[in-house]
Amino acid sequence: MYETDCGNRVRLGCHIKGSELLRQPSEPARSRYPVVGGPTFGEGSGTATGDALVDWAAEHAEQLLAPLSQQWAHSSAVGHRAGRIAKAFPAQDRGQLVAAAYLHDIGYAPGLRRTGCHAIDGASHLRDAGHERLARLVAHHAEARFEANLRGLDDELAEFSRESSPVADALTYCDMTIGFDGEPLTLDERTREIARRHGEADAVTRSLAWSMPFLSLCVARTERRLRLRGFTP
């Protein structure tokens, strides 16, 4: 399922389940995991793996980010990009990479915001859902440690151990090469877009001064790995 291409429709939030398009952009979301009195995790989600994990992650992220349509457009496209490159990674890592890509920004969801650092808030939710590795990947995606430091949240982030791996690099690569509307961007274009959207005074923008060298290394390492495996970044 990981290489299925839904073309330009990914910008509008489509998700492929095998060869089946779960929903057309014009249709309302039909999540199997409806919100009843707040976000729910979905029956059995804590033990889901492989395709089932990816399907749950895509539906759960769409459910949580539904009030933030552009945020879902970005997250959906990041998930789609991860799906296209997943076969460059060991089989046991593919579902985790694609699921984390769909879920990486759920901390922006109104019902999950606690600390103001979306990486920590999203990770806390995933830990509660029983997805410990996803929680750690999301907590540290896109070098979130620098934003957390500016917000005085070092201790909160330290509750999630940092995974240094090709999968963690690839998650950051997918996030930092997809724009807010779901369009492909270079890393430089993406950081300029972040600065415009958040404003110069925001901790997200200010953290880029420290994170940029590390983001560049993540992107470069991932592009090199992809080329070695016959993928075009």
Tens-digit pLDDT profile for residues 88-129: 999 999 999 999 999 999 999 999 999 999 999 999 999 999
Please report, as a single letter, which amino acid is at residue 194: I
pLDDT of 203 reads 97
Q: In this predicted model, what pLDDT tens digit does every residue of 220-233 receive, in sequence order?
A: 999 999 999 999 88
184: phi then psi, degrees, rounded to nearest 5: -65, 140
Tell me the C-alpha distance between 53 and 97, whole Å.
Answer: 10
The pLDDT of residue 27 is above 50: no
Q: What is the model's pLDDT at position 102?
A: 98
| Rounded-to-integer distance, Cα 113 and Cα 227, Å | 38
Q: Are 84 and 5 a contacting pair, CB within 8 Å?
A: yes
From the centroid of its chain, how far is CA 52?
17
Looking at residue 233, its pLDDT comes to: 85
User: Would the pLDDT of 79 be above 60?
Assistant: yes
Q: Which two tokens stand for residue 168?
A: 């963690």
**pLDDT(62) > 60:** yes
Average pLDDT over residues 169-194: 97
For residue 225, the tally of other CB atoms under 10 A from its CB is 18
Q: How confident is the model at residue 49 (pLDDT cuts 50, 70, 90)?
A: confident
Give yes or no for residue 41 having a pLDDT over 80: no
The DSSP 8-state label assigned to residue 20 in this structure reads E
User: What is the value of pTM for the model shown?
Assistant: 0.82
Residue 135 has pLDDT above 80, yes or no: yes
Comparison of pLDDT for 138 and 14, the residue scoring more: 138
Among 12-26, 46-60, 101-115, the range of highest mean pLDDT:
101-115
179, pLDDT greater than 70: yes
The residue behind tokens 């807010």 is 180
Q: Which two tokens stand for residue 107?
A: 């901390």
What stretches of 66-160 show up as alpha helix (H) in DSSP? 69-85, 91-103, 118-128, 132-139, 144-150, 154-158
How many residues does this entry show for the chain?
233
* Overall average pLDDT of the 190-210 stretch: 96
Least Cα distance to 180 among 65, 19, 21 occurs for 65
Averaged pLDDT, 186-192: 98
Does the pLDDT at position 42 exceed 60?
A: no
Query: What token pair was written down for 177?
Result: 């090469």
| Contact status, residue 222 vs residue 233, Cβ threshold 8 Å | yes
Decide: helix, strand or coil at residue 230: coil
Per-residue pLDDT, 189:
98
Contact 230, 87 (CB under 8 A): no
5, pLDDT greater than 50:
no
Residue-averaged pLDDT of the chain = 85
